[in-house]
Amino acid sequence: MQLITRVTCVFMVLILGLFFTVVSADEKSKSAKLNELMELSGMVKIMEQARNKNKTQALQYKQGFMKQLRTSFQTNDPEVWEYFEIEYQKFIDSLEPKWTVEEAVQKYIDLYGARMTEEEIDVVLKFNKSAIGRKSTSVSNKVAPIWFDYLSKGSDSQFSEGLKKFVANLKTFVAEKKKMQKSQKEQ
């Protein structure tokens, strides 16, 4: 009787091992297909655009903002403008998202893949490889920046807060510098 139990246990372990090997292979296949889908759908490009939006915006504003500060602070002291550059770089660095493109894409793959079977993914891949699928991707990539502008309203608060901190630091620096210059003149 024990021989039958042992044989049954060994047989069950082998069956379970085979089952998990097949499931693991299926998951690898599904994962590869999801990665291909992310490339075909332009999702990687969309995530890169989202990641760089605030930094791009800060760099676009820099020249105009510098001009505004020169008018506001009316100083030709190179140390002030060197400090400005350092603080503006800190501001730009503060806009770096906490996630990488790879992490964002992987999270999307995980969420999407958990809700789709491999067979369904095959159908979506087939669609994305078709003429209308390629057109759909092209249109999505064109509207994504517009969509991100709409979504970025939440990011604008991060941008504004970083900008306020930058200006406050600059004002403090200029005020302290003027104070030091005044005390040096008085001596």
Conformation bin of residue 106: beta by default, left when phi > 0, alpha when psi is -120 to 50: alpha
DSSP helix/strand/coil, 92: helix
What confidence score (pLDDT) does residue 6 get?
Answer: 52
| 96-121 pLDDT per residue, tens | 888 888 898 889 889 999 999 999 99
Torsion sign (Cα): 45, 51, 54, 58: negative
8 Å CB contact between 158 and 95: yes
Query: Which residue reads 């087939």 in tokens?
Result: 126
Q: What predicted TM-score, i.e. pTM, was given to this entire model?
A: 0.53
DSSP 3-state of 95: coil
Distance CA 139, CA 141 (A): 5
Does 154 or 33 have the greater pLDDT score?
33
Gap between the Cα atoms of 88 and 90, Å rounded: 5
> 147-177: per-residue pLDDT in tens?
767 766 666 677 777 878 888 888 888 888 8
Question: Residue written as tokens 């998202």?
Answer: 97
- Distance (Å, rounded) from C-alpha 170 to C-alpha 80? 8
Name 176's Cβ contacts closer than 8 Å, sequence gap at least 6.
none
**pLDDT of 134 higher than 80:** yes
Residue among 64, 60, 57, 55 at smallest CA distance from 89: 55
Helix (H), strand (E) at residue 116: none
* Locus of tokens 């369904």: 120
Helices (H) and strands (E) in the chain, counts: 7, 0
Q: Which of 132, 105, 138, 139 is nearest to 37 (CA)?
A: 105
> Which of 139, 145, 119, 146 is closest to 41 using CA atoms?
139
